[in-house]
Amino acid sequence: MDIFLQQIINGLVLGSIYALVALGYTMVYGILGLINFAHGDIVMVGAMVALAVFQLLAAAGLPVPITLLVALAASMTICIALGVSIERVAYRPLRRAPRLAPLITAIGVSILIQYSAALIWGKQYIALPPLFKTTQLHLGGAHLTDLQAAIFLLACTVMATLYWFVTRTRLGAAMRATEQNPDIAGLMGININLIIALTFVIGSGLAAVAGLMVVLYYGIGHYYMGFILGLKAFTAAVLGGIGNVTGAMLGGLLLGVIESLASGYIGDLTGGVFGSNYRDVFAFLVLVLVLIFRPSGLMGQPSAERA
């Protein structure tokens, strides 16, 4: 029972990070109908920038909250600049092209970002310098560190704000209108280019937050780390119903929990035949199962044909 609770806690924390990344996928997919393969790599850039800031400031002896804020500001600035320029240079000219073209472009951009990062930061794992000590809180028989709690709460706050923005503000309404039908939305006086750029701003900003969280949580960064994270976040977006903001949040949390539980119990369930080294398989299994049985996802409207 303790393991169960522990895995749920770990899963929720991990899932909140997935959810932040999944939002970036789902918003871009909702508006452009494009799987932005480069999104995971934007998360990686956010993580690497944060690491670079930490390494610069670790010796300066600044208070921890200031260091964190500087790192967050730096990675958000760079990620947003990156996301918006990608949209402008690579995706905008292809908006009317056959669907395969932007997908291949996105793969190309992803490879470009990865290997540029390899050039800048090298190919080795980069470790987080010791910033602060985490303290453990006890919840029944399970542990929760204050870092975990902070990640989870911050992610929830960010998501709540985004939900409010999308459902209650004029810009949010414009985003939803563009998602429904870009052409008609344009006729109604919405500046489509601005809205799409805004989508990339929000998505990349969330990616930066997620990148910072990953670095703090795992303590390392690597030029290739965005890829598998991106895939899982995409799975989360599909699980929740792609194009649906609430769905992405729910899907992220759910996927995190499923993955934690599965990798926690697989050893016992299979008598040790399969170990937790199979953990990356679960996301894909979930993906395949969702697509077979409920292609529109948990929160989505049925639209299998377009998918």
Partner 1 sequence: MPGLRNTSFTVRIVVYAAIAALLLVLPFVVEPLLGRTWVRIIDVALLFVMLALGLNIVVGFAGLLDLGYVAFFAVGAYVYALLASPHFGIHWPFFLVLPLGAAVACFFGVLLGAPTLRLRGDYLAIVTLGFGEIIRIFLNNLNRPVNITNGPLGITLIDPIRFGDVSLSQHHVLGDLTFAPVHSYYYVFLACALLSIAISLRLEDSRIGRAWIAIREDEVAAKAMGIHTRNVKLLAFAMGASFGGISGGLFAAFQGFVSPESFALLDSIMILCMVVLGGMGHVPGVVLGAILLTALPEALRYVGPLQQSWFGEVLIDPSDLRMLLFGLALVLMMLFRPAGLWPSRVRKREFAE
Site residues (vs partner 1, CB under 8 A): 29, 33-35, 90, 93-94, 97-105, 107-112, 114-116, 118-119, 227, 231, 234-235, 238, 272-275, 277-278, 280-281, 283-285, 287-288, 291-292, 295, 304-307
Between CA 304 and CA 286 the distance in angstroms is: 17
To partner 1, the closest distance from the beta carbon of 307 in angstroms equals 5
Neighbours of 58 (CB within 10 A): 14
Residue showing tokens 């208070």: 63
Beta bridge partners of 302: none
Cβ 213 vs Cβ 17: under 8 Å: yes
To partner 1, the closest distance from the beta carbon of 191 in angstroms equals 23
Query: DSSP string of 235-269?
Result: HHHHHH-TT-HHHHHHHHHHHHHHHHHHHHHHHHH
Q: Which is nearer to partner 1, 5 or 231 (CB)?
A: 231
Tokens of 45: 């850039």
To partner 1, the closest distance from the beta carbon of 199 in angstroms equals 17
Distances (CA, A) of 77 to 18, 61, 74, 80, 201: 21, 24, 5, 5, 10
To partner 1, the closest distance from the beta carbon of 230 in angstroms equals 11
Going by C-beta distance under 8 Å and a sequence separation of 6 or more, which residues neighbour residue 249?
A: 19, 22, 23, 159, 163, 240
To partner 1, the closest distance from the beta carbon of 278 in angstroms equals 6
Between CA 94 and CA 90 the distance in angstroms is: 7
Alpha helices in 36-169 (DSSP H): 39-58, 64-86, 100-121, 146-168
To partner 1, the closest distance from the beta carbon of 4 in angstroms equals 25
To partner 1, the closest distance from the beta carbon of 175 in angstroms equals 20
To partner 1, the closest distance from the beta carbon of 47 in angstroms equals 20
Angle between helix 245-269 and 279-293 (nearest 10): 130
Q: Which is nearer to partner 1, 218 or 278 (CB)?
A: 278
Q: Which is nearer to partner 1, 46 or 300 (CB)?
A: 300
Q: Which is nearer to partner 1, 106 or 158 (CB)?
A: 106
Q: Which is nearer to partner 1, 100 or 187 (CB)?
A: 100
Q: Which is nearer to partner 1, 175 or 233 (CB)?
A: 233
Q: Which is nearer to partner 1, 33 or 172 (CB)?
A: 33
Q: Which is nearer to partner 1, 42 or 158 (CB)?
A: 42
